[in-house]
Amino acid sequence: MMTYGVFFTFDRDQTGASEISPALEVVKMKNTKEGLPEALTVTLRQLVMNGHYSMAGIVLYVYFIRCWKLEDELAAYYVPRYFAKYFPNHLVKYQRQTAQLQQNNFKKGT
């Protein structure tokens, strides 16, 4: 079995044909000591550094639900705490951006 990134794994049978299955369903990647696969941490870091905070949160949320088999509420509890621990400056920046957007939308509505 060969693993490519976070998103897909390719299984090759004896005839050489390949099946594609989501890697978040079947995680065959080596886990780090912290519990997240290295490819996932790299993907999260790239998303955060490029300013795609919401997408990074969605990826982590889905990983918690599918791979760790957490309930929705517990996964939602852990996502902001992960970003507060590993990306505190980016989390503050994201919170400022969302607060400013909500304030602008409120002003337009009145």
pLDDT in tens, 48-71: 999 999 999 999 999 999 999 999
Residue 1 pLDDT more than 70? no
For position 35, what pLDDT does the model report? Answer: 76
Structural domains counted in the chain: 1
pLDDT at position 16: 52
Rounded (10°) angle between helices 88-109 and 53-67? 110
pLDDT of res. 2 = 35
Helix axis angle, 72-86 to 53-67, nearest 10°:
130
What residue has token string 């909500």? 102
pTM: 0.65
CA-based torsion, 74, 77, 80, 83: positive or negative: negative
Helices (H), 27-71: 38-49, 53-67
Mean pLDDT across the chain, nearest whole number?
Answer: 78
What whole-number distance in Å separates Cα of residue 17 and Cα of residue 21? 13
Mean pLDDT of the region 75-84:
96
Checking if the pLDDT of 28 tops 70, the result is: no
The domain in which residue 18 lies consists of 2-109
Mean pLDDT for the stretch of residues 17-40: 55
Residue 36: pLDDT over 60: yes
